[in-house]
Amino acid sequence: MKNTGCEIRAGFIPLIDCAPLVVALERGFAEAEGVCLTLSRETSWATIRDKLAVSQFDIAHVLAPMPVAANLGLGPLPTPMIVPMALGTGANSITVSVELWGELQAYIKENDFSALSAVEGLAQAVRKRCEKGQRLLQLGIVHPYSSHHYQLAYWLASGGIVPGRDVDLVVVPPSLMPAAIASGHIDGFCAGEPWGTVASSKSCGVILTTNAHIWRNSPEKVLGVREAWANRNSECVAALVRAILKAAQWCDEPENQNDLAALLARDDYVGKSIDLIHPCLARRLKSGDGTLHPIDGFLNFASNAATFPWTSHALWFLSQMARWGQAELTSETIDVARTTYRPDIYRTAVAPLGIELPPANSKLEGALTAETLTGSPTGRLQLGPDNFFDGMTFDPDRIEDYLAGFK
């Protein structure tokens, strides 16, 4: 074991994508890097935020936009944070109640998770409800500053459904989503797996589409680190990045899926049965007709540069904060978002591992429609498709033009 003297306290939420942190601890990757890692299972993202703010956690499994929001001073207890690495891509699903699914079946003929047909069908149902004078649909999101919020709102708006006008978005902790939809408090939700699968298994929800169908290989969770702690413990941050990267690579190996499902099923981690966890690890979800469908680009732990902290991801989140009135788009806020994600730290940390790295820190988002080989300092790196379902692209150097392109 390397002796870096790193004692790190970390918080996480019981979701499939907490796996790299769990595996870093349980499979010895953290110990091999000299990191003494302590994990604390929490229920809500607000608790994660607050415990980071009061220094009960040094680092955490956090929603990808949360550090950007914190550095912009948004929300309570904003604490300066950095993002030295991402924790993979994907693993969100949009689930609707059985009652709402019954309404949608008049408009959606295929059970293939198509984001386009799903939002077109939902738009027709929303218009019909409006004509009848029925209440607005209540859709659950896990946090105001979450990829769930921005991808859901992006998807809804593409179909002419304006959040706050045509539907209401309400915050519910991920693990409480199935109970909230079963009790009728919400009509649908966007949350990380396994909670869509849990709702489906309880026959109170139907998975309508996924983040991979809205934005393939889209950013989801990142390693959030208190900036002050990172500045004092740069070697610990680097050691942890290496440990989590090795753990993420282990998680991606198909032969490890059974062991990973058993590990996550433990009560101190996700706490759901292997039967509910394994389909997501196999990139397969149950659709409205009850069959399991494979989903390309749904969940990557390390492959396709999934742990690289692209600054273009941070800037896309800022664009959506500006679009929905949470923040202003200025040269100052652009600089804050860009400097929150730290590919420089990632590059330095993983340099001893000799892995393929992107040649740039930012990219045109939405331009790749298939797996693509790109040049890298050490050879050729494969990137996964990152296209949006509506064909739009996001140029991080032209954010104002991007926002002007929306209706």
Distance CA 192, CA 150 (A): 14
SS3 state of residue 136: coil
Decide: residue 76, CB within 10 A, 0-12 exposed, 13-18 middle, 19+ buried.
exposed
Paired strand residues for 292: 286
- What are the extents of the domains in the chain? 6-90+219-285+295-347, 92-214
- Looking at residue 110, its pLDDT comes to 86
Half-sphere exposure of 405 (CA within 13 A, CB side): 15
- Looking at residue 2, its pLDDT comes to 58
pLDDT, tens only, 170-210: 999 999 999 999 999 999 999 999 999 999 999 999 999 99
Distance CA 322, CA 264 (A): 36
For the chain (length 407 residues), average pLDDT per consecutive 10? 78 98 98 98 96 97 98 95 96 96 92 95 96 96 98 97 97 97 98 97 96 95 98 98 98 97 98 96 92 90 97 98 98 98 98 94 96 82 94 98 93
Are 220 and 213 in contact by the 8 Å Cβ rule? The answer is: no
With tokens 């996480």, the residue in question is: 12
Residue 382 to residues 53, 302, 303, 357, 361, Cα–Cα distance (Å): 37, 11, 8, 10, 15
Q: Please give the CATH number for the structural domain made up of 92-214.
A: 3.40.190.10
The amino acid that residue 155 corresponds to is: W
Helices 257-264 and 274-281: crossing angle, nearest 10°? Answer: 130
Helix (H), strand (E), coil (C) string for 163-230 = ECCCEEEEECCHHHHHHHHHCCCCCEEEEECCHHHHHHHCCCEEEEEEHHHHECCCECEEEEEEHHHH
Half-sphere exposure of 10 (CA within 13 A, CB side): 30
- Looking at residue 296, its pLDDT comes to 86
| Superfamily covering domain 6-90+219-285+295-347 | Periplasmic binding protein-like II (3.40.190.10)
DSSP string, 229-273: HHHH-HHHHHHHHHHHHHHHHHHH-GGGHHHHHHHHTSTTTT-S-
Shared fold status for 6-90+219-285+295-347 and 92-214: yes
Distance CA 223, CA 64 (A): 8
